A and B are shown apart, each in its own frame.
Chain A
Amino acid sequence: MKKLFWCLAGLAFIAIGTPLFAQEPETVQTVVATNWVAITSGFAMAIASSFCGLAQGKAAAAAAEGMARNPGATAAIRLALILGLAFIESLALYTFVIIFIKVV
């Protein structure tokens, strides 16, 4: 818990401190419109694929355990595993499609 706190504190320091360091050279600030679509789509894809990875890991772990305990049921488990992985994966792919439509 303490480690997590210090990690977050460090991240916060970097996040708050960077603009301070960046502002030191007093140059003329040119206003550039930030491309929020690209930034948010990157975050959306990261969130989608990380949780999709977690879910697929859970599914694969359960399937491997089931196969190890009962090798006779391998065929049925593999079928359920592939179907489940396909459905989980399609959630991340929907995110990808939305990003693809929005960005391109």
Chain B
Amino acid sequence: MEHELWFTALLNQLLAGPVTGLLNLLGLPPESPAHPIPNYIAMQVLVAGIIMVLLAIVRSRLSVDRPGKLQQGMELLVEGLGSQAEEIIGHGGRQFLPVLVTLGMFIFLSNVLGVIPTFETPTDQIYVTAGCALAALVYYHYWGFRHHGVFGYIRTFMGPMMAISWLMLPIETVSHLARGLSLSVRLWANMVAGHNISLIFMALVPLAVPVVFEGLHIFVGLLQAYIFVLLTMVYLAGAVSEEH
């Protein structure tokens, strides 16, 4: 069994009974009934908790005349992504902002959590990034169906000419599935590569040098979270665009 982090051990002590019961009910019995929660799920729970606590603090201190540092930072984030969404999706792009900002914050915090000792990066497991990509995929298809109607949205998959629609439909379907694959694999591979580089340099020079690569890792984590949100925006823009 893998090494269990202290937060995972805490969660397992508190919730092992109900989680094992739930998994048995679903027909997926865990390998060890006393430790059903793996590290990456515990870290995801932690990240979700951090986001909720952070937003609760911002919410309780919200003020128009004297905004605090935290509020200004959050406003910068929301404003920046909002103007980006307006630019890419066009008018009405701001209605997607809640999901986009949540995705961005979740992925960024997940990426940099591994820098803190005794924690792990959940996004270096393919399950986690595939979950994020699936959420983005389902979300933009939902908006496509909602915007164009069921048959209208399927028609956008068929291309401009009905004569070649039998050819376009499979091609477009595969390309949409490949988007999910590329979103998840890109994030996962970046995180795995970042950790491997740190480990290799730790083996070569155990002093001071790996710190540089941890800094690089934080930068890459920020960039990958931004790219993930940006690509989700581009896909959303494609799903709700009017022409065709």
Contacts and interface: CB of A to CB of B under 8 A. Distances in A.
Contacts, number: 36
Which one of B182, B188, B189 has the highest number of Cβ atoms from chain A below 10 Å of its Cβ?
A: B189
Interface of A: 75, 79, 82-83, 86, 89-90, 93-94, 96-97, 100
Contact of A82 (B189, B190, B192, B227): B227
A38 to B, nearest CB: 14
A83 B186 contact: no
Contact of A93 (B84, B87, B190, B231): B190
22 contacts: A79-B230, A82-B226, A82-B227, A82-B230, A83-B231, A83-B234, A86-B186, A86-B230, A86-B231, A90-B182, A90-B185, A90-B189, A93-B185, A93-B186, A93-B190, A94-B189, A96-B189, A96-B192, A96-B193, A97-B189, A100-B189, A100-B192
Contacts of A79: 84, 87-88, 230
Interface residues of B, number: 16
Contacts of A75: 87
Contacts of A86: 186, 227, 230-231
Contacts of A94: 185, 189
A79 B193 CA distance: 25
A75 B227 CA distance: 15
Contact of B230 (A83, A90, A93, A100): A83
Closest 8 CB pairs of A and B: A93-B189, A86-B227, A90-B186, A97-B189, A96-B189, A90-B182, A97-B185, A93-B186
A100 B54 CA distance: 36
A93 B193 contact: yes
A86 to B, nearest CB: 5
Interface string B193-231: 100000000000000000000000000000000110011
Contacts of A100: 189, 192
Interface string B167-185: 0000000000000001001
B84 to A, nearest CB: 8
Contacts of B226: 82
Nearest to B182: A90
Contacts of B84: 79
Nearest to A90: B186
Interface in B68-93: 84, 87-88
A60 to B, nearest CB: 14
Contacts of B186: 86, 89-90, 93
A90 B223 CA distance: 13
A90 B190 CA distance: 9
A97 B184 CA distance: 12
Interface in B142-160: none
Nearest to A96: B189
A82 B224 CA distance: 10
A78 to B, nearest CB: 11
Contacts of A90: 182, 185-186, 189
B192 to A, nearest CB: 7
A34 to B, nearest CB: 23
